[in-house]
Structure 1
Amino acid sequence: MDKQHLRLILNGKSAGRSDVRAAVEAVRTMGHEVSVRVTFEAGDITRLAREALRDYQDQKIDTLVSGGGDGTLHEVVDAVLHSLPEGESPPSPLPCCRLAPPMISRGTFAWTLQISPPVSDLPPGQVPSRWI
């Protein structure tokens, strides 16, 4: 698989979690670039989503990732869709890696983003369909 540049908009409540940091590092170890943007206060998600849309061409962002719970996902998707001209689609995929319950494995993070994790890191019984 080609190496990707992922932009992760991460809910600030999750920024210090060791499992989240390990998951991001595992994806980087696979050779992918992960640029992390962390929220701190109200309005950050909208600002960071608009920044990602502006950076899409210059920084070659392949995938915009929402890291957090349902509220974070909703805000990211809403901000992206409301920032686009009418009738235009987002320039890249918008996957969500829900960071609740409180633990996320390196394999689950990579698997959710559809980039190839080591098979040993996959959740039991979960193999990406492209491997079947």
Structure 2
Amino acid sequence: MALEQVWLVLNGKAAGDEAMREAVGTLRGQGHPLQVRVTWEHGDASRYVDEAIAHGAQAVVAAGGDGTVSEVAAALAQRDGPADRLPALAVLPLGTANDLATAAELPRAPLDALRALDQYPAVPVDLLRVEANGQARWCVNLASGGFGTEVTVETAEGLKSMLGGLAYVITGIAKLGRIDTVQARFEGPGFSWNGSFIALGIGNGRQAGGGQVLCPDARLDDGLLDLTIVPELSGEVKATLGALVGGGKEAALERIAVRAQMRSLHIEGDDPLTLNLDGEPLQSRRFDISCVPGRIRMHLPAGCPLLA
């Protein structure tokens, strides 16, 4: 792919990243007039996607964290027309958690990530469409709820900058003495669950919150959303907590989690509940979530774990 047909949407917080600047300078020095746009406020990514489409761009690179990836993906998904008539999405991870890029095994070095556009094909991937409060939002990686959402929302930006994904763990430990459960009803094709939970994952991707794997079997291209519910810690559930020490977090989660795959899901709570969509909280009493197959294309490596 000729890099003059690539537009790079760079999160303003990463504009001073030296490796990023060197990568762009290297490619431009080799004769590739890579187009760079820096986000400053909400809506910038959408405007830059419009600009890229108007100029016939073949790919838009989301350079930042999971929030930047989600914003660019949503901007593409909102456009009219099928995925093959829109620029493909590429990811250059520059955020704190980079959950989607990590699970997809994408290069972290900016120069490697940009050069990989020539090596990684653009393949159709699904998106989650979340309807709540009379509006629709898009989610490319994972929607989470309960304790995990509180940890992600409450983790301070300064702590994230200093400690990366470890910041989420520290914040979570600080909250262990005051975990509040959430009561909700879940309905989907062939699935029904009603009860209190402490954590929830609705995956297109697998992990959130700096490496917390909630939906280990999720795929970006299977046409299904993966649901994981971690029930409240009572009765038999409390007896499994020893696995947190003996077998690791994943072992404990496997023993207590409720899991299912489906094309659509309705969630209704007695009180308003919060879903964290790729890092952005959304509060409502009712959510209607559907998996939209092949809504955009994404540059991913051959053998990517997130592809079926």
Tell me the TM-score normalized by structure 1.
0.69
| Inter-partner Cα distance in structure 2 for 1:41 and 1:95 | 21
What pairs up with 1:17-36 in 2 under 5 angstroms? 17-36=17-36
Say if 1:96 and 1:106 are closer, same or farther in 2 by CA, change over 3 A.
Answer: closer
Q: Percent identity?
A: 33
Q: Quick check: which one's helix share is greater? A: 1
1:82 aligned partner: 78
Say if 1:3 and 1:71 are closer, same or farther in 2 by CA, change over 3 A.
Answer: same
1:98 aligned partner: 93
Q: Which runs of 5+ in 1 are unaligned?
A: 116-127
What pairs up with 1:1-132 in 2 under 5 angstroms? 3-5=2-4, 6-56=6-56, 61-85=57-81, 87=82, 89-100=84-95, 105-114=109-118
**Cα distance, 1:26 vs structure 2:** 1.8
Say if 1:88 and 1:3 are closer, same or farther in 2 by CA, change over 3 A.
Answer: closer
Aligned residues: 110
| Inter-partner Cα distance in structure 2 for 1:63 and 1:47 | 15
Q: Which runs of 5+ in 2 are unaligned?
A: 97-107, 120-300, 303-308
| Inter-partner Cα distance in structure 2 for 1:69 and 1:80 | 17
Query: Which deviations, in whole Å up to 9, do the C-alpha atoms of 1:56-113 show, x marking residues without a partner?
Result: 1xxxx2321111111000110111110223x453433211111136xx5354233433
| Inter-partner Cα distance in structure 1 for 2:65 and 2:44 | 15
Q: Quick check: which one's strand share is greater? A: 2
For 1:69, the aligned partner's letter is G
Tell me the TM-score normalized by structure 2.
0.32
RMSD: 2.6
Say if 1:48 and 1:7 are closer, same or farther in 2 by CA, change over 3 A.
Answer: same
Alpha carbons 1:3, 1:31 under 8 Å: kept: no
Say if 1:106 and 1:78 are closer, same or farther in 2 by CA, change over 3 A.
Answer: closer
| Inter-partner Cα distance in structure 2 for 1:89 and 1:3 | 18
